[in-house]
Structure 1
């Protein structure tokens, strides 16, 4: 009996030590509001929308101290729709993020479903990631600054901060036997944050983007006659480019804070290369080939009137060009927002966005306005308004 008591005491002691070196946290965001679309395919639309400023989510993250400065870590993050209770990201259980890894003084290595370097180093400077949500994202979020698409099967490295400078890279294995390049995704980037100045730059390269990137959600269009269906969505800004063999994004941004004011500027170049590749996605009825490019320029401003009250303004200009006049388009977009914090965890906010289109869109038709993630307009103009509440836990 004495030996059994000693053994139990030792086990309890070990368990206590292990517990003290580990931590697991449950967290989440619920973002819900009333939204208005001035032209949803020709009609006005009033509706409730979940997750505009931040995607509604719950998640679990944790870490374990392994000693000598080494830690194990993990994140499992689920997205959901507040209005219906259904899963987000096409029905994936942990569609927002799911990864495990190790961290030390040399940096962090993680494996799983993750964000790319464009999101990590440049996206946080976009107005859409700060106060405007997806209504302030660049048309169709063509550069992924607003994190519309995640990356599956990814190995990722992030450095520790070196005097405010960080860098990192990511590689996603395509998993196709006999062809290591098919469906592969890779990116790298760097950032600097010190005092009032924040800088970021990144590069993203995606092979067969219709399947590997736009098809990374739970709902994937079926293959017909050996040709994958389109996963590009309904936005005419990019929907005609599903047959691209490669997607390439180059992005950079900067922000500077003067007292209560913060000024930001961003640029991105998005290219859909190798159009007409039927093994990547459906080929346009016009049979286009070659490359299409979208250049995005954003300037934004926010002012912190009080610790609880923030206002913001944004202007985005997007210029597109493509083969045989397809995609020769311009989008002018503006957004205004106000965010008031009732507490550290609860705020109410309002966003208004407007877009005007001209030229010929990716489908070869006269361009219509198409704010990100809402039903496209039937004309060259579109306005969206949102009033919402956000709670973090």
Structure 2
């Protein structure tokens, strides 16, 4: 019996008499003040001070619901909004529930099957081991242009996703996203991933492919919306390609109060126009090492370094082999279980003909090969 058939059968025979339901309102507000040493403005550049929202974690609120259908089966849903706390505007290209919006079924022994706007499996499985994890540096620590989407600059529309329960430390999942177009292969996506946890060791791997997304925009009905990434100023999949393949893996090892990790991802943009490429291939290999240390119950320190080795075909404007190096440091002080203060700094150096530094939260590209961003802020959760 297939997983889908099993879920359907359970839904048919689940006794309604035992139904219990719950709806939870939750959220996070991240507000801070940020300084960037160099941001391009026209043909010149200079320092930039910003009041920030989501410098680490995107500000959001959401509704999470579950209804007990009996027999270990539950109806579930998530509606999650993103917003800018500094001006109240909607995020994710002005969507009401732009971060996540899905409904589905979850079974105690089989896992969950959900439909809607969701994260891909690289985000679900590999990102938690990276410095882009929501419990670490997240937004500011993204790899250049978020080229592998570990920082989920882009969510996936029209997605059907299965995620297993954990079996002796092993968890796995797969996702397919429809184009919703008569041309079935245009603007669709699929991904899969797995993780394994045993004692202090955590391992994960994942894969994401987007097909024929070059012309996607805010009016596109398909799996991805490149205008969303552009509107957020993240770069990300706004790099555009006839086909994107991104894959990678990572590991974390915890010993006492310290956790050390390594993550590798490779992103291949085939038929790209990024960096002046005339429909050639653009690729990024990202090598990241990271570490966190619980200094006291209140203080957490973090450090990460990423080396990105790029390659650009058929460009007359940019060099063929750009490189980016980024060092990230972070200190978090917990005022309570729900509220903390943080300070972080990121330094990026770019090399290659005509390439400049561009940190994810900088407010714009540098006019030079170097850029520094530093932020102090607070996060409140509810």
User: What TM-score does the superposition give when structure 2 sets the normalisation length?
Assistant: 0.87
2:250 counterpart of 1:253? yes
Alignment of 1:331-370 (within 5 A): 331-360=324-353, 366-370=354-358
Deviation at 1:218, TM superposition (A): 7.8
Aligned-residue Cα RMSD (Å) equals 2.5
CA–CA distance in structure 2, aligned partners of residues 213 and 160 of structure 1:
35
Q: Which residue of 2 aligns with 1:97?
A: 100
1:83 pairs with 82, 86, 110, which one?
86
Deviations 1:330-352 (A, max 9, x none): 00110110001000000000110
Deviation at 1:133, TM superposition (A): 2.7
User: Is the radius of gyration larger for structure 1 or structure 2?
Assistant: 1
- Residues 31 and 235 (structure 1 numbering): CA distance in 2 closer, same or farther, change over 3 Å? closer
CA–CA distance in structure 2, aligned partners of residues 341 and 171 of structure 1:
39
Does the CA-based 8 Å contact 1:35-1:387 persist in structure 2?
yes
Q: What stretches of structure 1 move > 2 A for 4+ residues in a row?
A: 15-18, 208-221, 230-239, 283-287, 324-327
What are the ranges of 5 or more consecutive residues in structure 1 without an aligned counterpart?
A: 1-14, 222-229, 276-282, 361-365
2:306 counterpart of 1:316? yes
What are the ranges of 5 or more consecutive residues in structure 2 without an aligned counterpart?
A: 1-15
2:295 pairs with 281, 305, 322, which one?
305
Deviation at 1:197, TM superposition (A): 1.0
Q: Which residue of 1 aligns with 2:11?
A: none
Alignment of 1:1-393 (within 5 A): 18=19, 21-41=20-40, 42-104=45-107, 105-129=109-133, 130-177=135-182, 179-211=183-215, 220=227, 231=230, 241-242=239-240, 244-275=241-272, 283=273, 288-324=278-314, 326=318, 327-360=320-353, 366-374=354-362, 375-393=364-382
CA–CA distance in structure 1, aligned partners of residues 371 and 295 of structure 2:
30
CA–CA distance in structure 2, aligned partners of residues 233 and 34 of structure 1:
18
CA–CA distance in structure 1, aligned partners of residues 31 and 92 of structure 2:
17
Does the CA-based 8 Å contact 1:150-1:213 persist in structure 2?
no
Deviations 1:26-55 (A, max 9, x none): 000000000011111111001111012111
CA–CA distance in structure 2, aligned partners of residues 17 and 27 of structure 1:
26
What is the number of residues matched between the two proteins? 355
